[in-house]
């Protein structure tokens, strides 16, 4: 479907409601609609959401993105919102990562390629994030009065986190380990509140205001920060 210069991907399937999505990095628009809904009604729905679509597209296009990582000496990497320089140490020992006041030290075997270096560093990031999640979830589950049945850390292209209220499963984006800890806490509260209110409606906002009054400023901070380089397959 095309509306002036806006191209919209329309998928009709066996669902009850219309779902509108805008995807990074360039603001691709997708609409999932019930099979029985006419294209005229879908078009009218999209027209009613044009202002929101344009706002989301502008946000994605303005957001800074990191260049591809090569895992070379003195390359910049982030941990809990702080910038560190990568120090690569090659020696015949078990690969490991350690942190000092200004550097992330990546110890690898000689001739380890960039892909393997990246996996070693990613495994370290994953372990650090998982260690931070446990006390935060325990604290906020007690405050909010809900319990996640399972917490999964994974790479996510379009979301910082997600919640499936029916199953109680919460997913956390691995990239949050590179952002300030307050931003991670905001995402945890956001997803736990979805166990009380699945939608982003007035009740959801009221619950967020109650449990984490500064959530909107944290959301803005998180969405201003650079995001990792991605290869987008369409």
CA dihedral of 113, 117, 119, 123, whole degrees rounded to 10: 160
Range 56-68 burial, b when 16+ CB lie within 10 A, else e: bbeebeeeeeeee
| pLDDT over 50 at 233, yes or no | no
Distance CA 171, CA 149 (A): 11
pLDDT band at 232 (very low <50, low <70, confident <90, very high): very low
Q: What is the pLDDT of residues 67-91, one digit of tens each?
A: 678 999 999 999 999 999 999 999 9
Q: Using an 8 Å Cβ cutoff, are 129 and 177 in contact? A: yes
CATH superfamily of domain region 76-224: Metalloproteases ("zincins"), catalytic domain (3.30.2010.10)
pLDDT of residue 88: 97
Instruction: State the distance between the two ends of the chain, measured CA to CA, in whole angstroms.
Output: 17
Question: What are residue 205's phi and psi, to 5 degrees?
Answer: -60, -40
For the stretch 95-145, pLDDT in tens is: 999 999 899 999 999 999 999 999 999 999 999 999 999 999 999 999 999
Three-state secondary structure call for residue 109: coil
Higher pLDDT, 23 or 143: 143
| CA atoms of 137 and 117, how far apart (whole Å) | 30
Classify 11 as helix, strand or coil.
strand
Give the Cα separation of 35 and 99 in Å (integer): 54
Alpha-carbon distances of 83 from 31, 66, 120, 186, 217, rounded to whole Å: 38, 13, 19, 21, 21
Spatial distance between the Cα atoms of 153 and 138, rounded to a whole number of angstroms: 16
Write the pLDDT tens digit of every residue in 184-204. Answer: 999 999 999 999 999 889 999
pLDDT computed for residue 229 by the predictor: 41
CB atoms within 10 A of CB 191: 25
Domain ranges across the chain: 2-62, 76-224
**By the 8 A CB rule, do 69 and 87 touch?**
no
64 pLDDT more than 70: no
Tally Cβ neighbours within 10 Å of residue 33: 21
């Amino acid at each position: 479907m095309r509306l002036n210069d806006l191209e919209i991907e329309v998928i009709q399937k066996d669902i009850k409601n219309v779902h509108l999505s805008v995807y990074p990095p360039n603001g691709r628009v997708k609409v999932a609609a019930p099979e029985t809904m006419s294209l005229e009604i879908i078009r009218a729905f999209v027209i009613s959401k044009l202002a929101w679509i344009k706002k989301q597209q502008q946000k994605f296009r303005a957001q800074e993105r990191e260049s591809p990582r090569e895992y070379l000496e003195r390359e910049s990497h982030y941990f809990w919102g702080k910038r560190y320089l990568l120090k690569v140490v090659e020696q015949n020992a078990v690969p490991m990562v350690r942190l000092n006041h200004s550097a992330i030290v990546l110890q690898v075997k000689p001739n380890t390629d960039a892909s393997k270096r990246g996996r070693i560093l990613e495994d370290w990031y994953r372990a650090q994030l998982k260690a931070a999640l446990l006390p935060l979830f325990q604290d906020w589950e007690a405050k909010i009065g809900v319990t996640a049945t399972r917490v999964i850390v994974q790479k996510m292209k379009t979301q910082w986190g997600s919640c499936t209220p029916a199953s109680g499963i919460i997913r956390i984006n691995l990239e949050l380990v590179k952002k300030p800890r307050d931003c991670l806490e905001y995402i945890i509260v956001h997803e736990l509140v979805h166990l009380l209110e699945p939608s982003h409606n007035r009740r959801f906002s009221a619950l967020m205001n109650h449990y984490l009054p500064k959530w909107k400023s944290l959301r803005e901070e998180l969405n201003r920060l650079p995001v990792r380089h991605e290869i987008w397959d369409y």
